[in-house]
Amino acid sequence: MERAPRLLDEVRERIRFKHYSIRTERSYVGWIRRFILFHGKRHPREMGAREVEAFLTHLASNRDVAASTQNQAFSALLFLYRDVLGVQLEAVQNVERAKKPTRLPTVLTRNEVRAVLAHLDGTNWLMASLLYGAGLRLMECVRLRIKDVDFERREILVRDGKGAKDRVTMLPSSLVSPLQKRMRRTCELHRQDRASGYGGVWLPDALSRKYPSAPHETGWQYVFPASVLSLDPRSRVRRRHHVGEQAVQRAVKKAVRAAGLAKPASCHTLRHSFATHLLETGYDIRTVQELLGHSDVRTTMIYTHVLNRGGKGVRSPLDAT
């Protein structure tokens, strides 16, 4: 008699059916496991809104998690009940919500950006330059594919960005030559992989079944490939994935310290700086919104509060005396 699949295996299967990322899969499975353990390993079918409320309140009051973390846990449990168990969860109301602080993003000045980039080299320099010069998110940069860079039009097509949206942003002219050089090395590495019997790359949404030759085509290869082959955690196929984001994160942190900056800057700070500097230059906020890929202009509006013009652009009375 065939054994019924375990709950977490059902969760993984449903997540893959809906083409969620491996990161989302690991996150959701982790939260569902914590939820079950919190309630003494009871099966979720035996529980409901009251147990979900208790778990979310525990995260806020006892674990002191951030609002975004609590929301992520809630999303995982909603997915479990709605998409895996097929159960309509009652309204979850009596939850102590983690407080979401209102903070302005850290932004570097142009001189500070130059100082940070001056302490980077090679691939780390090129990736950090793209984060600032094109306003890319870190994962958008590491997942960039050769076919999505248009040198003639000076454009980068960001595929499947946050919210599963595509967008177009600029390719800085100063990065054309180093990026072309980077791609030539990538193409050579791809030829070596193919000669060794590998050379395939992961494609989203089952495109590899629809276009069997696509994984081996040059255009689909990552601009920033990993230095070694690895085993795909889902398909168990050995191939070359994109470079890990941790390397450039560590390099930028080290560069920030070497530049002597006191600001808690990171890779994402370069994207914040991109938006702020465009607004300082005089570009309208709708243009910046489109380049960043924000769904709501109110998200982009946050950068108007950190423009380098003093407090709300008001001149201090001390300077008028």
CATH of the domain at 234: 1.10.443.10
Active site residue 137: yes
* Same domain? 206 vs 263: yes
* Same domain? 121 vs 181: yes
168 bridge partner residues: 157
Q: Which pLDDT tens digit goes with each residue over 224-266?
A: 999 999 888 888 888 999 999 999 999 999 999 999 999 999 9
Active site residue 6: no
* Same domain? 59 vs 127: no
* Same domain? 68 vs 131: no
The rounded distance, in Å, linking the Cα atoms of 180 and 101 is 42
Identify whether 191 is part of a domain: yes
Radius of gyration for the alpha carbons in the chain, expressed in angstroms and rounded: 23
Identify whether 14 is part of a domain: yes
* Same domain? 243 vs 165: yes
Spot the catalytic one: 143, 182, 271, 277.
Answer: 271
pLDDT at position 62 is 87
- 204: domain range? 110-305
Q: What is the pTM of this model?
A: 0.80
The pair of three-digit structure tokens given for residue 175, joined into one six-digit string: 């990065």
pLDDT at position 1 is 43
The rounded distance, in Å, linking the Cα atoms of 136 and 253 is 17
* Same domain? 57 vs 142: no
Spot the catalytic one: 33, 39, 159, 162.
Answer: 162
* Same domain? 78 vs 204: no
Spot the catalytic one: 14, 137, 147, 216.
Answer: 137
Identify whether 318 is part of a domain: no
pLDDT at position 31 is 96
Active site residue 268: yes
The total domain count for the chain is 2
Identify whether 63 is part of a domain: yes
Active site residue 303: yes
pLDDT at position 98 is 73
Identify whether 160 is part of a domain: yes
> Which DSSP string do the residues of 47-75 spell out, in sequence order?
--HHHHHHHHHHHHHTS---HHHHHHHHH
Identify whether 315 is part of a domain: no
Identify whether 311 is part of a domain: no
Q: Which pLDDT tens digit goes with each residue over 126-146?
A: 999 999 999 999 999 999 999
Residue 107 zone, left/alpha/beta (φ > 0; ψ -120 to 50; rest): beta
Low pLDDT (below 70) residues in the chain: 1-5, 100-102, 205-206, 308-321
* Same domain? 163 vs 223: yes
